[in-house]
Amino acid sequence: MASSSSCPPPSPRLAHLLPVLVAAVVLLGRGGEARQPAPLHGVVRSMAFDEGYTQLFGSGNLALRREGKRVHLALDESTGSGFASQDLFLHGFFSAAVKLPADYAAGVVVAFYLSNADAYEKTHDELDFEFLGNVRGRDWRVQTNVYGNGSTGAGREERYDLPFDPTDDFHHYSILWTQHRIIFYVDETPIREVVRTEAMGAAFPSKPMSLYATIWDGSAWATLGGRYRANYKYAPFVAQFGDLVLEGCPVNPIDHSATAACGTPWYEPVAAALSAEQRAAMSAFRRGQMSYSYCHDRRRYPVALSECDTAALPRLFGPDGMKYGGDRRHRRGGRGHRSDVVM
């Protein structure tokens, strides 16, 4: 683990390009090579596995390809697999290009997330992309979760139907986390923004976290509440990761408080300056692709949480938070510290 308590200063190249890059028009990538969010083109450097990561579990089910710049995570009857960042970070930009297992993938869960559950068992923070497999002929779904200070009971979950086949090619999934806001990206499109408010308090993730990527068996809940389970006749299930990016403030793993010297890193103004075009793209994605919204789930939250704009998209969702016309089967509970909304 790194013992540094400060972040490197923004590069001159980034300072020069930032005003132009932030103003770039953002559209969802369709076809061709998946691209990182527009403010980061040509600025953020991807790394080889050994430069910033370590194997978490899975023995031989983790394999490195292309000189360590691509990671294959496999799930078979014996085990899943996963890796984690070597450092803890307080804020930053975290990204990977991911290609999900094809064919029958019911019960399979692939996750790309930040967490500190190993250090804070009951008060952990977490930011997730969770990919939930499905039966043949039905699409994978992706869910984002925001947990702060152990708030898994109010996990602020959202779920989306992707407008592309995530098993056909690589697509970038990115988390930009600052002291004031969190932005989730799919390829070049910001799909979700969480702005810190006074009312959220410690429910806004604010403690150092590690970055994780895993594949595991979630048969008990992941596909239609456990109706369809992992079928190991189709194993191994392999998720591929590339374009690995860790851009953040590494902190001392012993004294987590020694982080004030990070100052104002480059990603703070990027997060605060979403353009009108980016916001329009985000609005279009949410209107067209979001299939569950915790802000509209009156069964879990008779009174919406403080940050929710209940005037946004109210006619699209039922009282259970599910989008009208979608698959409305769901189950709650039984997932440990992971999301408690399952559909």
Task: Give the residue numbers annotated as catalytic, written as ranges.
Answer: 126, 130
Backbone angles phi, psi at 32, to 5 degrees: 70, -165
The closest alpha carbon to 40, from 94, 113, 98, 99, belongs to 94
What are the angstrom distances between the C-alpha of 241 and each of 98, 213, 228?
5, 9, 26
What backbone torsions phi and psi does residue 19 show, to the nearest 5 degrees?
A: -60, -35
Please name the residues in contact with 120: beta carbons below 8 A apart, sequence gap of 6 or more: 150, 207
Do you find a cis peptide bond into 236, omega within 30 degrees of 0?
yes
Nearest-angstrom CA–CA distance, 54 and 45: 18
| Backbone dihedral angles phi then psi of residue 315, each to the nearest 5 degrees | -80, -5
